[in-house]
Structure 1
Amino acid sequence: MTLESTVQKWGNSLAIRIPSVIAEQIKITQGSTMELNVLDNQELQLVKKKRKPTLQELLSQCKPENRHEEIDLGIAGRELI
């Protein structure tokens, strides 16, 4: 899909609006982090960065069958009481 967008001033920077049809197609929303790459032939490549999952999201993927019992690693001799 090819669309045109006009470069506009935004504070001290320049901005390009991404049409909603393209945003939906590449699954980005307001606040998505993008990587900008300048290619040799003066092209700009935008790549959606994968966000890091939250601890809650990671823990929600843990299954009871993957949990193990407490492991006794013995005494190291430097424990604080």
Structure 2
Amino acid sequence: MYTTIQKWGNSQAVRLPKDILEEANLQENDKVQIKVRDGNVIIIPDKKRKTLKERIAEFKGDYECNEWNTGKPSGNEVW
């Protein structure tokens, strides 16, 4: 697939087609690292989104489930 380098403000930009983003599992606002290796520009995902399972595995704190007071009703809440 080919694209063109275009002016974007004081910089230059390359638009990444949707198919390329999907294949690389990237989305808008994902952080990437850009490197030049042997004259080639390489885009590397900075961090992939963690799954819930990965996030839970990293949790090292104590968790105590309890209720909390959200204040007095301010409208037509059911008590």
Q: What range describes the TM-score normalised by the shorter chain of this pair?
A: 0.5 to 0.7
TM-score computed with the length of structure 2 as normaliser: 0.60
Rounded Cα–Cα distance in structure 2 between residues aligned with 1:46 and 1:18: 11
The CA deviation at 1:52 is 7.6
Asked if 1:39 is matched to 2:37, the reply is yes
Report the aligned-residue RMSD.
2.8
The CA deviation at 1:44 is 0.4
Q: 2:11 aligns with which of 4, 10, 13?
A: 13
- Which ranges of structure 2 fall in alignment gaps of 5 or more residues? 63-79
TM-score computed with the length of structure 1 as normaliser: 0.59
The CA deviation at 1:39 is 1.1
Question: Helix, strand or coil for the counterpart of 1:23?
Answer: helix
- Which ranges of structure 1 fall in alignment gaps of 5 or more residues? 68-81
Cα deviation code 1:26-51 (max 9, x no counterpart)? 111110111111112x1101101105
Which runs of at least 4 in structure 1 moved beyond 6 Å after TM superposition? none
Percent identity, aligned pairs only, is: 29
